[in-house]
């Protein structure tokens, strides 16, 4: 009789993605408990299911390995608390955008874009009749909540050793915004309030710090965070939709190109994983 | 090479899905005859009908405002256009009143000349110069056969009565009170006297787009104590929460012979109040299945198909990329309300305001007309582009006008075409573009039905914000039968508000209607019930009068209006209340 065995790679408990997962689960709970949120847990399961299936299959196609689709699960959280869809069927292209970007859009074996940010930006700009970033407005707006997310995010940023990215992003944003206020009718405090808003805090701490798409060296982290901050503020000045997330995508691309041609070796190895073998029969 | 190949796969898969989704969810609008078989003719006839009214609302002038609010003055002056259809002189022909709130402007009262034209007579009736009027509701609060007026304004609402040919104020609602667009007239305690449900909508800015908690107040009931004296009734309904309410709809939502209330709420979820057995109201919790749109503007109710429960149409904001859910059609399924607007293709009508169900071609299926457009300018600047700069912030930030972007002549969902959704049974089709409806793309608000010529061809009046009024004469030659009913209550309220009518057709079909002419947004429609019969004949009409009588009327004349007087029909049963 023939024996079948699956070699599966799963994350260890110390893997920062587990922490990410816990935090985003809390945020999802905070959203779902509000009547204004609209969506329900079933909707999330639809999106998470799509993301995990795409992650699982595409990973096998590209690398030949069976890997537990933790990325799909965590990416789904990020997208779900930000995006509204007119019909759950739109979770399919969104999930494909996220996990497909991870599987296909790679340079030197590493994906270029943060999958969640990629899916959010492309779907919101390309599927304007079906997708909107309104979901995040449904459960945010409270300064106490913002502070809570900020602290969770800070803990995660330290854990993945990307706190300098966030520091640079916030520092440069605060420096640049008053200058731009001089050239636009935007109220001066608008930029600062915007930086404190939960949507930006989540973007800064949970997407900007993705170890796979951001630099590991301190100097590069500062440059990366600063570049994204300047670009985001400029896009905001130009009334561009989703300026921070778009700036993040551009930042990811610039960094990937820099990494390809740079002599400096940047490491992204912060995941903690282990191999398990499942004997089917 | 591998990267390019991957990119190609990725791109192809995504585009493939988009094409699939476009076919499935955004079918291209069919053109010409394939769109809607029958020729519908709704012509804008305001000039021909001698109607010359331009709504003026500069109530909020820049000199009265603090510096911070000046930059968003168009927003403050954006919601006050209303229209009220009424037979003010009891001649059997429908007249209408349009208030204008600007200090130096004149409200107009158009008297029907029975030939398709009107004569303006607001001065004669004492209604030309009112104090910042925004909405009028004509109803008979003392059952004497003449119409009193509930007039809301930027100050306290007042009640006017016709005394010697001119209207005079007889009652002013006590402080604290505020600007209100949302009110409805009903007899919730069924004592035969019409009461008022009213909810304020203030000029403050919301502290959230989806869960605002800083509105001017909740829904209130005013009980008619007789002789048109009203008192706040907190025994039947008490809502301490602070909401922004645009409209209040009344309907028997659960088919229990009750008068349930639906409050179309901006910046939050709609509130629903079920009437209890004792006549009091309780707020229904969690009865809407997945309500995602939170900009309720108007409430209209109708039996869209031959269903047990009425459907409730809520107009909302639809803007691609921002607010994608659009209008809703809620129907009770025995436990919850389920939205079927998308399936019926009536969810997308821009930034929607007034809505009204009416059978335009008398085919027996109620059609739907929706007014839309928020603020139109010609600068080419789009306020939606600016909004992203300040809405993504904390609640404290949002309700401060300092933090809003200046309008600087921007349009905000402006230049939109009103919608005419023709009922095809399973779904609707929007024929507005096909028949050149709302060619000027005005900013519609209140929308009322009117059968000007008493010929069963129901037309529409759209009160446009700070623009010319639109008057649409229905000139459709359908060849279908219809029947019109004017109900007169005797033990019930004289206007028979709250009555429900069931028409039995020769083919055995039954059509249901409820009489709540104040449903919609900032409008009062033709007070008569109009029922399209298609090619069928009428067998009988069954009327459930508000006070409980259930009567059958036979031998009514088709293709004309019939007057039905309570207790003059054949009594079937008396419903206990």
Question: Per residue in A183-224, pLDDT tens?
Answer: 776 666 777 778 888 888 999 999 999 888 999 889 999 999
CB within 8 Å of chain B, chain A residues 181-200:
185-187, 189-190, 193-194, 196-197, 199-200
Chain A residues inside the 8 Å CB shell of B412: none
> CA of B206: which chain A residue's CA is closest?
A141
- Residues of chain A with Cβ-Cβ distance to B341 below 8 Å are none
Distances in whole angstroms, Cα of residue B535 to Cα of each of A101, A131, B240: 59, 44, 51
HEC string of B12-65 equals HHHHHHHHHHHHHHCCCCCCHHHCCCCCCCEEECCCCCCCCCECCCCCCCHHHC
Residue B333 has a CB neighbour count (10 Å cut-off) of 11
| In the predicted structure, residue B1 carries a pLDDT above the cut 50 | no
CA dihedral over A205, A210, A214, A215, signed as positive or negative:
positive
Mean pLDDT within B531-550: 94
CB contact under 8 A, B391 and A107: no
C-beta neighbour count of A221 within 10 angstroms: 25
Q: Look up residue A192 and give its two tokens.
A: 């600062």
* Chain A residues within an 8 Å CB radius of B405: 185-186
Interface test with B, best of A35, A115, A186, A199 (most B CBs within 10 A): A35
- Comparing CB atoms, the residue among B21, B325, B403 nearest residue A187 is B403
- Chain B interface includes A146 (CB < 8 A): yes
CA separation, residue A190 to residues A233, B231, B393 (Å): 11, 45, 8
Distance CA A120, CA A131 (A): 9
As a whole number, mean pLDDT of residues B392-415 equals 84
pLDDT of the residue at A4: 67
The mean pLDDT of B163-192, rounded to a whole number, is 89
* pLDDT at site B243: 93
According to the model, what pLDDT value does residue B299 have?
A: 97
Q: Which residue has the higher pLDDT, B323 or B461?
A: B461
The predicted pLDDT at position B577 comes to 43
User: Per residue in B444-503, pLDDT tens?
Assistant: 999 999 999 999 999 999 999 999 999 999 999 999 999 999 999 999 999 999 999 999
* Cβ neighbours of A202 in B, within 8 Å: none
Quick one: pLDDT at residue B3?
Answer: 61
Nearest chain A residue to B289 by CA: give it.
A38
Residue A24 pLDDT more than 90? no
Cβ of B209 under 8 Å from any chain A Cβ?
yes
Chain A environment of B17 (Cβ under 8 Å): 92-93, 96
Q: Are strands B561-565 and B481-488 parallel, antiparallel or unpaired?
A: parallel
Q: Touching check for B345 and chain A: CB below 8 Å?
A: no
pTM recorded for the entire structure? 0.91
pLDDT band (50, 70, 90) for residue B530:
very high
Best A61, A187, A256 member to test B by mutation, with max B CBs in 10 Å, is A187
User: Tokens 């003059």 label which residue?
Assistant: B568
Partner residue facing B17 (CB), from A92, A107, A187: A92
- Tell me how far apart the alpha carbons of residues B429 and B344 are, in angstroms, rounded to a whole number: 9
In this prediction, residue B178 carries a pLDDT of 76
Interchain CB contacts (distance < 8 Å): A and B: 137
- At A18, the pLDDT band (50, 70, 90 cuts) reads confident
Mean pLDDT of B320-333: 92
Mean pLDDT, chain B, rounded, equals: 89
pLDDT reported for residue A263: 67
Asked whether the beta carbons of residue B394 and residue A197 sit closer than 8 angstroms, the reply is yes
Residue A96 three-state SS: helix
State residue B48's pLDDT score.
96
38-97 in A: which are within 8 Å (CB) of B? Answer: 38-40, 84-87, 89-90, 92-93, 96-97
List pLDDT tens digits, range B210-243: 888 889 899 999 999 999 999 999 999 999 989 9
pLDDT of amino acid B22:
55
For range B113-121, the mean pLDDT:
96
Strand partners, B109: B97
The per-residue pLDDT for range B95-110, each reduced to its tens digit, is: 999 999 888 889 999 9
Tokens representing B566 are 């309570």
Consecutive H or E run containing B311: strand B311-315
Is the pLDDT reported for residue A76 higher than 90? yes
Rounded Cα distance, B435 and B449, in Å: 18
Domains of chain A: 4-280 (1.10.3430)
Q: Give the closest of B209, B320, B405 to A129, CB-based.
A: B320
Task: Label residue B572 by pLDDT band (50, 70, 90).
Answer: low
pLDDT at A236: 84
pLDDT of residue A272: 67
Q: Which of A97, A194, A243 sits opposite B14 (nearest CB)?
A: A97
Test A100 with B14 for CB contact under 8 angstroms: yes
Distance of alpha carbon B188 from the chain centroid: 20
Lowest average pLDDT, out of A16-30, A256-270, B423-437, goes to A256-270
SS3 content of chain B, % helix, strand, coil (to 5): 10, 35, 55
Q: At what angle do helices A218-237 and A188-196 cross, to 10 degrees?
A: 130
Tokens of A122: 């492309």
Distance CA B57, CA B465 (A): 8
The Cα–Cα gap between B451 and B530 comes to 9
Contacts of A143 in chain B (CB under 8 A): 394, 396
Which has the higher per-residue pLDDT, A54 or A197? Answer: A54
pLDDT digits (tens, 9 = 90+) for B8-45: 666 766 666 666 555 444 444 444 445 677 889 999 99
- For A124, nearest residue in chain B (alpha carbons): B321
Given a contact cutoff of 8 angstroms between Cβ atoms, the answer to whether A132 and A84 are in contact is yes
B313: Cβ contacts below 8 Å, ≥ 6 apart: B298, B299, B300, B301, B302, B327, B328, B329, B341, B346, B355, B357, B368
A126 CB neighbours in chain B (<8 A) are 18
More confidently predicted of B204 and B331: B331
Sorted by sequence, the CB contacts under 8 Å of residue B19 that are 6+ apart come out as none
The CA-based angle B257-B262-B265, given to 5 degrees, is: 180
Question: For B408, which residue in chain A has the nearest alpha carbon?
Answer: A185
Cα separation values, B332 from A23, A52, B336, B515, Å: 38, 36, 6, 19
A274: enclosing H helix or E strand: strand A273-279
Q: Which of B413, B405, B376, B365 is nearest to B389 (CA)?
A: B405
Q: Of the segments A195-199, B380-384, B427-431, which one has the largest average pLDDT value? A: B427-431
In this predicted model, which residue has the larger pLDDT, A66 or A10? A66
């Amino acid at each position: 009789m023939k024996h079948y065995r699956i070699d599966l790679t799963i994350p260890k408990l110390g893997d920062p993605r587990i922490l990410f997962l816990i935090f985003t689960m809390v945020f999802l709970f905070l959203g779902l408990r509000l009547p204004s949120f609209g969506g329900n847990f079933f909707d999330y399961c639809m999106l998470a299911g799509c993301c995990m299936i795409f992650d699982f299959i595409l990973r096998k196609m590209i690398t030949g390995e069976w890997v537990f689709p933790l990325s799909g699960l965590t990416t789904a959280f990020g997208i779900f608390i930000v995006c509204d869809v007119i019909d759950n069927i739109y979770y399919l292209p969104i999930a494909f955008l996220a996990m497909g970007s991870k599987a296909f859009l790679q340079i030197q074996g590493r994906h270029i874009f943060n999958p969640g940010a990629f899916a959010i930006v492309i779907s919101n700009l390309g599927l304007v009749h079906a997708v909107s970033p309104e979901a995040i407005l449904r459960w945010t707006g409270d300064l106490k909540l913002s502070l809570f997310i900020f602290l969770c995010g800070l803990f995660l940023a330290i854990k993945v050793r990307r706190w300098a990215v966030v520091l640079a992003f916030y520092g440069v944003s605060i420096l640049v915004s008053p200058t731009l206020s001089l050239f636009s009718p935007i109220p001066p405090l608008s930029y600062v309030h915007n930086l404190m808003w939960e949507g930006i805090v989540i973007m800064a701490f949970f997407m900007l710090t993705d170890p796979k798409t951001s630099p590991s060296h301190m100097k590069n982290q500062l440059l990366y965070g600063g570049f994204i901050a300047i670009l985001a503020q400029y896009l905001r000045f130009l009334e561009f939709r989703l300026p921070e997330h778009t700036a993040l995508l551009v930042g990811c691309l610039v960094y990937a190109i820099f990494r390809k041609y740079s002599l400096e070796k940047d490491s992204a190895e912060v995941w903690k994983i282990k191999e398990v073998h499942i004997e089917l029969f | 090479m591998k990267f390019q190949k991957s990119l190609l796969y990725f791109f192809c898969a995504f585009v493939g899905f988009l094409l699939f989704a476009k076919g499935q969810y955004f079918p291209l609008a069919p053109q010409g005859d394939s769109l809607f078989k029958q020729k519908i003719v709704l012509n804008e006839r305001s000039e021909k009908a001698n109607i010359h009214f331009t709504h003026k609302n500069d109530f909020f002038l820049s000199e009265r405002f603090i510096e911070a609010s000046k930059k968003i003055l168009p927003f403050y002056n954006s919601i006050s256009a209303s229209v009220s259809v009424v037979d003010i002189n009891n001649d059997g022909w429908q007249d209408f009143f349009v208030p204008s709130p600007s200090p130096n402007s004149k409200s107009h009262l158009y008297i029907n000349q029975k030939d398709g034209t009107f004569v303006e007579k607001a001065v004669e009736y004492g209604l030309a110069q009112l104090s910042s009027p925004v909405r009028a509701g004509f109803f008979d609060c003392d059952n004497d056969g003449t119409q009193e007026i509930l007039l809301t304004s930027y100050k306290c609402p007042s009640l006017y009565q016709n005394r010697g040919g001119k209207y005079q104020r007889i009652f002013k609602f006590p402080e604290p009170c505020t600007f209100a667009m949302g009110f409805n007239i009903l007899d919730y305690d069924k004592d035969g006297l019409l009461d008022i449900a009213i909810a304020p909508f203030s000029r403050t800015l919301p502290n959230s787009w989806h869960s605002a908690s800083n509105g001017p107040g909740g829904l209130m009931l005013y009980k008619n104590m007789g002789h048109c004296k009203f008192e706040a009734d907190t025994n039947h309904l008490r809502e301490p929460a602070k909401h922004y309410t645009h409209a209040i709809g009344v309907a028997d939502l659960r088919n229990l012979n009750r008068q349930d209330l639906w409050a179309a709420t901006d910046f939050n979820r709609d509130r629903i109040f079920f009437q209890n057995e004792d006549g009091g109201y309780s707020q229904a919790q969690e009865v809407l299945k997945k309500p995602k749109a939170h900009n309720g503007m108007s409430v209209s109710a109708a039996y869209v198909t031959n269903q047990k429960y009425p459907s409730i149409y809520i107009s909302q904001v639809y803007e691609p990329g921002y607010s994608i859910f659009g209008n809703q059609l809620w129907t009770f399924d025995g436990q919850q309300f389920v939205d079927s607007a998308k399936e019926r293709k009536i969810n997308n009508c821009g930034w929607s305001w007034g809505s009204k169900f009416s059978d335009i071609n008398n085919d027996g299926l109620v059609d739907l007309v929706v007014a839309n457009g928020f603020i139109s300018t010609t600068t080419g600047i789009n306020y939606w582009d600016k909004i992203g700069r300040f809405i993504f912030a904390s609640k404290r930030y949002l309700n401060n006008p300092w933090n809003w972007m200046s309008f600087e002549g921007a349009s905000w969902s402006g230049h939109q075409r009103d919608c005419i959704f023709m009922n095809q049974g399973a779904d609707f089709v929007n024929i507005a573009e096909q028949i050149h409806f709302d060619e000027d793309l005005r900013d519609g608000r209140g929308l009322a039905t009117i059968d000007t010529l008493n010929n069963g061809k129901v037309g529409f009046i759209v009160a446009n914000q700070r623009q010319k009024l639109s008057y649409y004469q229905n000139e459709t030659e359908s060849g279908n039968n219809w029947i019109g009913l004017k109900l007169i209550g005797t033990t019930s309220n004289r206007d028979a508000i709250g009555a429900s009518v069931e028409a039995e057709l020769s083919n055995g079909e039954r059509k249901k209607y409820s009489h709540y002419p104040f449903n919609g947004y900032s409008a009062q429609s033709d007070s008569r019930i109009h029922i399209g019969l298609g090619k069928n004949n009428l067998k009988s009409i069954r009327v459930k009068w508000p006070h409980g009588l259930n009567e059958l009327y036979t031998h009514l004349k088709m293709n004309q209006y019939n007057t039905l007087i309570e207790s003059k029909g054949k009594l079937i049963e008396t419903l206990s209340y």
